[in-house]
Structure 1
Amino acid sequence: MTGQIFKMIHKKCRNTVYPLTKIQRFIVPDDKISWNVDFPEYSPGVYNSPVLQGKVWADPDIADASFQPQWNKLDGKVNRESYIGHYQADEDNYPLNPIGRSGLRGRGVLGRWGPNHAADPIVTRWKSNNDDSAVVDEKSKHPVLQFVGIQRKDTGEWALPGGMVDPGERVSVTLCREFMEEALNSLEKGSVELKSMKKTITDFFNQGEEVYKGYVDDPRNTDNAWMETIAFNFHDSTGKIVGIIDLQAGDDAKNVKWMDINKELSLYASHKDFIEKVAKRHNACW
């Protein structure tokens, strides 16, 4: 990979304090990101969050003799394959971030060593006037597209309502489940309301389009654990399906709303890059 690509997708997890801690990352210059570049003075700290201990969704420590992970393959029900290809492990069997150095060893708060797979639903509709006509951006002359955004409880940043793919779970199930939990507060719904909502969302989510599959420039990434995702766009062209459902924040979401899409957006991790792809596919304002 070129230095330009490194800077583009491996920026938010370098040269910063690790999220919600006081742990400072080792400074990694742009030209020292690649593992193929000599960096003898590289000596990052190690951080493994105590919240991972004893969790069924988290790997044991690699130093645990009973833990024998199978890198780059399906390991039981845990998918340890990377969407971006083969990754290496060091002499102590710690997987190495395929993009390069991050300034911190360990797992941070991520449950899996190596790739941690997520799924991000991008639910969109056209912004409309009271008479149902499309709102057109005066400057670009393109119609304005909106997407469902949630405000994360942990960082306060706006993001897509995605989440982790459970072991053995189909990505389509993850996408539907996470949207319902975070944007519709399905965990607090009664059985009758939940059944109706689930049918509407499941039917709607059968018509998605993949817009991204790969590495995520996530602030939680480390040298030995990193986020990857599949992002799908689900577009409500008439605004009469999901577009009329009352949004209600739930689970890991603090707030939820329909957000106008434009280049001024500030979103968590690489989510703005995914939104830009969707806007351009729909020939919408950006």
Structure 2
Amino acid sequence: MATTFTTHRQPLEYLGGVRRFPVPEDKTPWSVDYPGYHPVDYTAPRVLSRPVWADPDIRKEEEPEKPLQFNSLDGKVDRKSHMGTYQIMDKVPRNPVGRTGMIGRGLLGRWGPNHAADPVVTRWKRDGSGARVEREGKPVLEFVAVRRGDTGAWAIPGGMVEAGDTVSATLKKEFGEEALNSLEATDEEKRKIEEHINHLFKSGDKLYAGYVDDPRNTDNAWMETVVFNFHDDSGEGFSKLNLVAGDDAAAVAWTEVHSGLGLYASHSHFVRLAVEHRKAAW
């Protein structure tokens, strides 16, 4: 996956009008001198209020009671990066890809890597008779997309890996919450949803593990993810699931895959990886 910034340096409207310091493309790498670089320092108030998913503001602690163990498994919090060992500069991690125009954590809770898991759930598009639809001699995929409540962008129904959780558990939980509205389901409905998801997510193919070109990234905090493709070849498995938007998703739908998809952050790239893996039309 290309590790160049595309969305990071754009003004983030949902950050309350906070604007990044401009970073020309050729000044993104830390190896290139940028004497006039003065990134804006921003961490969202809700992050500073210390919810369970957020670290303390270690820059303001002279001697923290419990120093964060970067580049390692810190208790239940995974602070290792898929990119390898990252540098610690002035007590905080430095984004391994380069400058973003912002220091602090922005909307992200963890210093350094913030881990997510993203399921690309696919099936073949079929016509009225049940035959697979083709485009330019290749079968056409459909995938489950959700519309984010924060930005309005369409995305994969993934989410953050919480402390102590596994990637596998997060993939199932986030798909259930965002695409099936499991949070609002009755106990019996939740049981059925869980049974279906456990069966359908029994075998997936890992497509990617690494850095995410995410608009929330800063010089000191960034998104990383593990992406799996769960494919329903017959089309009968996922048909038993009733897609209902839930949690922080505003809408959910089976969406035809094509080259004009404009999805949140790196999600278009992840769908493209599924297309290549399935030898489908793009």
Q: TM-score, normalised by structure 2?
A: 0.95
Looking at structure 2, the residues matched to 214 and 178 of structure 1 have their Cα atoms a distance apart, in angstroms, of: 19
Q: Kindly indicate whether the alpha-carbon contact (under 8 Å) linking 2:113 and 2:221 is maintained by their aligned counterparts in 1.
A: yes
> CA RMSD of the aligned region, Å?
1.3
Looking at structure 1, the residues matched to 272 and 168 of structure 2 have their Cα atoms a distance apart, in angstroms, of: 22
Output the amino acid matched with 1:267.
L
Looking at structure 1, the residues matched to 206 and 152 of structure 2 have their Cα atoms a distance apart, in angstroms, of: 27
Q: TM-score, normalised by structure 1?
A: 0.94
- How big is the shift at 1:26? 0.8
Stretches of structure 2 that go unaligned for 5 or more consecutive residues are: none
Q: Kindly indicate whether the alpha-carbon contact (under 8 Å) linking 1:18 and 1:219 is maintained by their aligned counterparts in 2.
A: no
User: Is 1:32 equivalent to 2:32 in the alignment?
Assistant: no
Looking at structure 2, the residues matched to 248 and 49 of structure 1 have their Cα atoms a distance apart, in angstroms, of: 30
> Which consecutive aligned stretches of 4+ in structure 1 deviate over 4 angstroms post-superposition?
none
- State the match for 1:41 in structure 2: 36
- State the match for 1:88 in structure 2: 87
Larger displacement relative to structure 2 (50-59 or 216-225) = 50-59
Q: Kindly indicate whether the alpha-carbon contact (under 8 Å) linking 1:209 and 1:234 is maintained by their aligned counterparts in 2.
A: yes
Out of 179, 184, 200, the position equivalent to 1:183 is: 179
- How big is the shift at 1:66? 2.7
- State the match for 1:242 in structure 2: 238
The CA deviation string for residues 153-174 of structure 1, in whole angstroms up to 9 with x for no partner, is: 0000000000000111111000
Out of 115, 140, 143, the position equivalent to 1:144 is: 140
Taking a change above 3 Å as real, the CA distance of residues 238 and 6 of structure 1, as seen in their structure-2 partners, is: closer
Looking at structure 2, the residues matched to 261 and 244 of structure 1 have their Cα atoms a distance apart, in angstroms, of: 21
Q: Kindly indicate whether the alpha-carbon contact (under 8 Å) linking 2:15 and 2:107 is maintained by their aligned counterparts in 1.
A: no
Looking at structure 2, the residues matched to 17 and 254 of structure 1 have their Cα atoms a distance apart, in angstroms, of: 20
SS at match of 2:264: coil
Q: Kindly indicate whether the alpha-carbon contact (under 8 Å) linking 2:141 and 2:256 is maintained by their aligned counterparts in 1.
A: yes
Q: Kindly indicate whether the alpha-carbon contact (under 8 Å) linking 1:236 and 1:243 is maintained by their aligned counterparts in 2.
A: no
Q: Kindly indicate whether the alpha-carbon contact (under 8 Å) linking 2:12 and 2:215 is maintained by their aligned counterparts in 1.
A: no
The CA deviation string for residues 206-254 of structure 1, in whole angstroms up to 9 with x for no partner, is: 1100001000000000000000000000000011111342100000100
SS at match of 1:207: coil
- State the match for 2:261 in structure 1: 265
Q: Kindly indicate whether the alpha-carbon contact (under 8 Å) linking 2:145 and 2:156 is maintained by their aligned counterparts in 1.
A: yes
Output the amino acid matched with 1:93.
K
Q: Kindly indicate whether the alpha-carbon contact (under 8 Å) linking 1:6 and 1:33 is maintained by their aligned counterparts in 2.
A: no
- How big is the shift at 1:202? 0.8
Out of 81, 106, 109, the position equivalent to 1:108 is: 106
When the two structures are aligned, how many residues end up with a matched partner?
Answer: 278
Q: Kindly indicate whether the alpha-carbon contact (under 8 Å) linking 1:26 and 1:104 is maintained by their aligned counterparts in 2.
A: yes
Q: Kindly indicate whether the alpha-carbon contact (under 8 Å) linking 2:3 and 2:213 is maintained by their aligned counterparts in 1.
A: no
Out of 190, 198, 211, the position equivalent to 1:194 is: 190
Out of 92, 116, 119, the position equivalent to 1:118 is: 116
Output the amino acid matched with 1:82.
S
Looking at structure 2, the residues matched to 150 and 172 of structure 1 have their Cα atoms a distance apart, in angstroms, of: 20
Looking at structure 1, the residues matched to 129 and 240 of structure 2 have their Cα atoms a distance apart, in angstroms, of: 15
Residues 207-246 of structure 1: matches in 2 within 5 Å?
207-246=203-242
- How big is the shift at 1:15? 4.1
Stretches of structure 1 that go unaligned for 5 or more consecutive residues are: none
Q: Kindly indicate whether the alpha-carbon contact (under 8 Å) linking 1:49 and 1:108 is maintained by their aligned counterparts in 2.
A: yes
- How big is the shift at 1:51? 0.8
- How big is the shift at 1:257? 0.1
Output the amino acid matched with 2:148.
R
Q: Kindly indicate whether the alpha-carbon contact (under 8 Å) linking 1:61 and 1:67 is maintained by their aligned counterparts in 2.
A: no
Identity of aligned residues (%): 50
Q: Kindly indicate whether the alpha-carbon contact (under 8 Å) linking 2:3 and 2:211 is maintained by their aligned counterparts in 1.
A: no
The CA deviation string for residues 125-170 of structure 1, in whole angstroms up to 9 with x for no partner, is: 0011121111112xx2211100000000000000000000011111
Q: Kindly indicate whether the alpha-carbon contact (under 8 Å) linking 2:11 and 2:17 is maintained by their aligned counterparts in 1.
A: no
